[in-house]
Amino acid sequence: MKKESEAGIAPGARCAADSRNNDIRGVAPRYVAAALISLALFGCGGSSGDAASGTSTKAAAVPSGASQAAVNHDQTSNPATAILQKMGVVPRLQIGLGAGQSIDDMKAQGIRPDIIDTYLVGVGSGSWPYWNTDGAYITYTAQNDRANGATPMFTLYQMAAKGDGNLSGINDQTFMNAYWSQVRTMYDRINGLNMPVLVNLEPDFWGYIYAQAPNHDVTQMPAVVNNQPECSWMPNNAAGIGMCLVSMARWHAPKALIGFPPAFWNGPPDVIAKEMQAVGADRADFIVAQTSDRDAGCLELATIAECMGRIGPFYRDENNINTPNFHQEQDQYTTYRAALGNGLPMLWWQTPLGVASDTPGGTPGHYRDDHADYMLKYPWEYGGISTFAIVFSGGGTYSTSINTDGGQFARLFSHYLSYGGVGVK
């Protein structure tokens, strides 16, 4: 899933498209505590949905006995239910919106999503901490999301600051010191909110390091990590970057719920899971299942740069007979989840908002895609595979949005809420 670089995007702009030292004597007490927390995590150097406007769609019926009964099923401890409890929300599959859909856009259609996702981009001058004083952008955004009944979510996309897929910064001390300082600011700001906040950690980056690391071994790619007090005993390699992101979260923002997004560009899900274990993804709170960063129709036409260079077909078969289809997509992530271990729940992210159509292609802002149509008509399929949330948004400049989808999302979300949503397992 490749996006355009987001370095230098102004606030409010659309984010379319990015143990060597075990001796902790003399370190400030707060970092000693951080060390103990992370040692427990990794060992030494190792490895409220209210309402939506629009009439209810008639395209899909609720399965017999699956409406409110699904929401009220036995809430014994399971990963998806547990994270919903930590979020303090109704125990049903959460539905969110992200990049490119403003709260004003949502209000105009009477949409009140359960989650609102916002990108944090860039490193250094012009990056997100400078949009407001000392990273207050996080505070203002999260408070605004919460006031509209949504759980705040932030997608950390700093690694694309030098360009999409350019990893030259990870072994540059100046770049990485600024990077880690901003990560610390993010977590401190989240901690100050005193509320649950979801964090999606560096989409695409994990795919790039796997592709570029010697023999696909991320522990062999040098990186600046252990000059940070919270991570002083971690390895100076790309795997250490993920481990340090987890350690900083646990120390600075205990209520933050963090997730890593795997990329399946270069290997099958079970193989990629081993790499993600090395970076500490199995120690996170959830898995980010990257749905697709472009509408299928845009990829089919391939007439604009952001949709060129990929091999199809792209439009999924809702009958789950022909390839590609939705059950195959689900199977990818259930395989990855099993191989990753720890039974983490899933959040499907950057899910396209294109409108289902039998006609390939479309036009900018009006490309076809059937993810929203399928996933909001058959949500129990996702709740049944330990999915706790689906977040919809475009990943490209010309992606379909709630302003260009003819009211599709508002209608489908309204229908979903009309029967109480579905439970999760």
Distance CA 308, CA 222 (A): 32
Distance CA 65, CA 274 (A): 39
Distance CA 297, CA 25 (A): 58
3-state secondary structure of 130: helix
Q: Has residue 10 been placed in a domain?
A: no
Structure-token match 């409010």, residue found:
12
Asked if 381 and 424 count as a contact pair (C-beta separation under 8 A), the reply is no
CA neighbor of 35 nearest in space, from 237, 229, 285, 322: 229
Asked if 189 and 259 count as a contact pair (C-beta separation under 8 A), the reply is no
In this prediction, residue 81 carries a pLDDT of 97
Q: Has residue 172 been placed in a domain?
A: yes
Tell me the CATH number at 50.
3.20.20.80
pTM of the model: 0.84
Asked if 49 and 112 count as a contact pair (C-beta separation under 8 A), the reply is yes
* Backbone φ, ψ for residue 288 (5° rounding): -95, 110
Number of domains in the chain: 1
Distance CA 155, CA 142 (A): 13
Q: Has residue 425 been placed in a domain?
A: no
In this prediction, residue 77 carries a pLDDT of 67
Q: Has residue 22 been placed in a domain?
A: no
Instruction: Give the C-alpha distances (Å, rounded to integers) separating 378 from 67, 72, 83, 412.
Output: 12, 18, 22, 11
- 3-state DSSP of 243-286: HHHHHHHHHHCCCEEEEECCCCCCCCHHHHHHHHHHCCHHHCCE
Q: Has residue 153 been placed in a domain?
A: yes
Q: Has residue 254 been placed in a domain?
A: yes
CA atoms within 13 A on the CB side of 297: 24
Q: Has residue 97 been placed in a domain?
A: yes
For 250, other C-beta atoms within 10 Å of its C-beta total 18
pLDDT along the chain (425 residues), means of 10: 36 31 29 34 33 35 35 57 97 93 95 98 97 97 97 98 96 98 98 97 97 96 97 97 98 97 95 97 98 97 96 97 98 98 97 98 98 98 98 95 97 97 95
Question: E strands of 76-114, at which residues?
Answer: 94-97
Q: Has residue 384 been placed in a domain?
A: yes
Q: What are the residue ranges of helices labelled H in 163-313?
A: 173-193, 205-212, 238-252, 269-278, 296-301
Domain that holds residue 233: 29-418
